[in-house]
Every structure is written in structure tokens, then in C-alpha cells.
Structure 1
Amino acid sequence: MFELPYLEICAEIFDKRFKNRVLHKVDIQQEKCLNVSILELRESLVGNELKKIWREGLSLRFQFKNYAVLELSLSDSAQLHVIEQNSDYADSDLLNLYFSSGQMLSVRDTQELSRFRLKPVHESVPDVFSKEMTSEYLIELLSSTEEEIKSILVDQGLIRGIGEAYADEILWYAEISPFSIASKIPLDKVKILHKTIKYVLLDAIKETRKLNALKFDKVDPDLLMIHNADRKNSPTGKTIKVKIWNDTTTYYTDEQMLYK
């Protein structure tokens, strides 16, 4: 899964490069990755100017002049590239978008797990940066469940935009164990958690912006203080522990309070 800071910066880069450019051609290797036929995709998008690119949850959305929207939901095996249209390197890419600038946006995914949706449905679940993502929303959400807090944070059906890596970062900064039962977390700590979510993600976006986002894969590990296999200790010197369960890898320290 692509993490939010990387997606934010990619959206910025693509918007600068492709905004107001006409989509001349679209190629896709596997129709199973689409929610419509390849023919419908081409009829909806080809020949139209791209007007806006933004991050929505953990996806990228491309809006064209005719108001058609294409959503890219990228898997862990995916890579994004901007290349020249005469490049032979893109022949086997899963998705290629050819623009009038002479460049193309390519999605490479050897496992073919990425999904592309034309006219994605409007989500009622709040994005992590939306005005609906209030402390009141988080308090009500957590008070009504016996699930572990990390499971809640990464559930895109509850909050859109927090991935596995930054959930660990957020919970460490908030001093809450990822294994805490959500409803057992005190009210004052939930309010701190709400502020920490935005603080950690906004800081990560700022730091990611200093890098060339298209030169690294999903997230630069150097930006992660806790969810990082190369680090043995937290910024405060405590041992970073790792737990793997149900295909989820969680990094944490004993500094984080466990609420049960």
C-alpha cells in the first residue's frame, strides 16, 4: 500500500506535469484491473484535458475536463514512473497514460494487484485531512469498538488515509500501544491522538517534499522513526519491538501505554 505522504507529493508532481494536457492514449494490460471495459475507459478519457489530480484516502484521482474521474489504487508491488512516450521500457507496464506533453504516466505492477476505477463512488467515510475528521468523530468511533487501536486507524472503511507504517509512527508519538483496546483509551489520550495524526502526517509530507518522490518506492524509510526494520531504537533510545500477525507488521516500544 502506498502511504499518504508519498501519494500527496506524487499528486503535486503529476498535477504540475500533466494538468491541462490532453490524454492522447491509454493502454492497460489486464482488463481485470478495471471496473469497466477498456473500451469504456478510452471513450471516457481519451481526447480530454486533465484538469486536476489529488489524493483521496490512499488512492490518486485524476479528473478530466468532461468531469470523468479515474482512480488509481496502487498495490505494494506497484511503481509509478513518468517517462518519455518513445521509451521501450514501458511496453509491459500495467497502465500507461499518454499525454500531449510527450510524456506518459506508467504504473508498473508485476503482481497485477493495483486497481483502476472509472467514476469511483463518493465515500462517506472521512479522509484523514477532511473537515469531518474531528476529535468528536474519533471519540465516537473509538468508544464503540473493542478492536485494537491500530486496526481501527488502518481500516479505510472507518478513516481514509492512514497506512500501516504511519499508524505505527502516530501511535508511538501519541504514546499509545497499538494493541490497546480502542474503547479503553482515556478521553484525553484520544484528543491527543487526534492532534498527533495530523501532526505526524503533515510533518511527513513536508519532509517528503524535500525529496524526489519518484526516485523512491512508496515511502522513504529514513523518514520513519519506528516502523523501520533498519532502526533498533526509538528516538528516545528505547528498543523497537516487532510483531507480525495476520500479514500485518507492527513496530512499537514499551514506552507506549497499553489500555486493556
Structure 2
Amino acid sequence: MFEIPYLENCAEILEKRFKNRVLQKVDLQCEKSINVSREILSESIVEHELKRVWRDGLSLRLQFKSYSVLELSFSTSAFIQVIEQNLEADPFLLNLHFSGGSIISVKDTRKSSTFRLNPINTDIPDALSKAFTFNYLIGLFSNKSEEIKCVLMDQNLIRGIGEAYADEILWYAGISPFSIVSKIPLVKVKLLYKTIKYVFIDAIKQVRKINPIGYNKTDSDLLLIHNISKKNSPTGGMIKMKVISDKKVYYTDEQYLYI
């Protein structure tokens, strides 16, 4: 899954590299991957300069001088590659050809990534936005009987927290992923809120150091709990894993279960 640290780093690098370049051509392998026709897509963004790239939730957004925005939402089988001038492109799902000869290429063997032209903005707060406040989190938890990991990953409640970093956040906060949100005491909710911000800000810094190219998925060494190669947490707890509804949950008995 493309999560916040990788997407933040990738957005920064793509903007530095492609800002003010003109998009000369769009190649789309599968028209079902996008919400408009190829013709409308080309009319909206081709021959226009790229003005901004940023992360929004678990997606990347590219804004052009035409004010059109292209949203890229990636599946677990996808990755981004920048293809230099005169180099041949491997099989792709989406290729954006820019002036100067470089291409932003989205690869996806399952063809399950999706793209959206001019996505509708939402009031649902991003995990790193100012709108995501402690009071918002309290209100979110007050009447819910769902497990905490499911709530954190629900993009209709909080945008940007994916499968891997939900496990990392909950371990740092000392809360079992199977805890019922309404049963978690206020002092732990406050700790969880601070932990969400801390874990992501720290991970973004680490990604910038170990992955300066920015186009490959986040190095798994950053993940201390949601990591198949690790047997124990940094404090010695044995890492366990369960699969629930096709989602992997990594945790330790160090985390308190609130039910």
C-alpha cells in the first residue's frame, strides 16, 4: 500500500522535477481506470504546464495550468517510475509525457489503480491536516463499537492511514488493534492522537533519508511492527499476525486490549 510517508516524499520530488513542464501526451492502457474518456482527459491537461503536485489522503494529485487536477490512486501492485529521455517504457497503466523527454509512468500488473480527473473535494480530514483535531477524534470514537484499526483505516472517517501504519501507530500508543474505540479511555485517545502525528512526521523524515529517489515504495525497514521479517518489537515483545477480512494485522501482547 502506498502510505503517507512514501506519497509525501514522492509528491515533493515529482513537483521539483516536473513543475512548469508542459504535458505533451497521455498514454492510458485501460480506459476503465479513469472516470472520463481519453479525449476529455487529453483536452483537459495536455499542452498545459504542471503547476503543483501534492498528497491527498492515500492519493497523489497533479494540478495543471488549466486548473484541471489529475488524481492518482494506487493499488498494492502499483509503483511509479520516472523514465528518462530516449529510454524505452516498460508495460504501463498510465504514462504522462512531459517536455524535456521525461515520463511519469504508473506500473500496475493487476491494472487495479484508479485515476480521476477533477476529483470532488471532501470534508473528511486528512491525518496530517489542521482539520484533524483531538476533538474530532474524540467525537469519532464516542459512539462506535468497531475495532480501532478498522476505524483508523476507514477513509470515510480519517484519510491517509493505511494498513501498515495503523499497526505502527497502535503499537507506539500501546493500544491493541482489536480494542473497541468507545472503550478506550480519554487519556489513551489523547496519546493516540499525538502518536498519529509523531509516527508520520518521523517516517517522512526517514523516507527522505533512505529513499531520496522517491519513486519506490517505502523501505520495509522503517516498519517496526508491520514487517514480516521482524520477530520482535523494539521492546522485545513477540510480533503476532492475524488476517481479518483479507487485511493483515500485526501486533504484540504489549498492547492493551480495551473491550
Structure 1: stretches of 5+ with no match in the other structure:
none
Structure 1 stretches of at least 4 aligned residues deviating more than 6 Å after TM superposition: none
Superposed CA RMSD in Å reads 1.1
Residue 129 of structure 1 deviates from its aligned partner by 1.0
Distance 1:144 1:71 in 2: 33
SS of equivalent residue, structure 2 residue 53? strand
Distance 2:193 2:256 in 1: 16
Percent identical: 63
What is the aligned residue count? 259
Contact 1:18 1:101 in 2 (8 A): no
| In the alignment, structure 1 residue 237 sits paired with structure 2 residue 236 | yes
Tell me the residue number matched to 1:256: 255
Contact 2:79 2:215 in 1 (8 A): no
Tell me the residue number matched to 2:94: 95
Tell me the residue number matched to 1:16: 16
Distance 1:31 1:145 in 2: 39
SS of equivalent residue, structure 1 residue 88? coil
User: What is the TM-score when the length of structure 2 is the normalising length?
Assistant: 0.98
| In the alignment, structure 1 residue 58 sits paired with structure 2 residue 58 | yes
| In the alignment, structure 1 residue 149 sits paired with structure 2 residue 110 | no
Distance 2:166 2:244 in 1: 15
Residues 156-200 of structure 1, C-alpha deviation per residue, up to 9 Å, x if partnerless? 110001010000000000000000000000011001100000000
| In the alignment, structure 1 residue 197 sits paired with structure 2 residue 233 | no
Contact 1:174 1:192 in 2 (8 A): yes
Distance 1:101 1:54 in 2: 22
User: What is the TM-score when the length of structure 1 is the normalising length?
Assistant: 0.97
Residue 216 of structure 1 deviates from its aligned partner by 6.9
Tell me the residue number matched to 1:105: 104
Contact 1:244 1:250 in 2 (8 A): yes
Tell me the residue number matched to 1:78: 78
Residues 62-100 of structure 1, C-alpha deviation per residue, up to 9 Å, x if partnerless? 00011100000000010100012432233x211000111
Distance 1:8 1:32 in 2: 27
Contact 2:81 2:215 in 1 (8 A): no
Aligned amino acid, residue 80 of structure 1: I
SS of equivalent residue, structure 2 residue 210? coil
Residue 219 of structure 1 deviates from its aligned partner by 2.0
Structure 2: stretches of 5+ with no match in the other structure:
none
Aligned amino acid, residue 66 of structure 1: S
Contact 1:128 1:160 in 2 (8 A): yes
Aligned amino acid, residue 58 of structure 1: L
Distance 2:191 2:107 in 1: 39
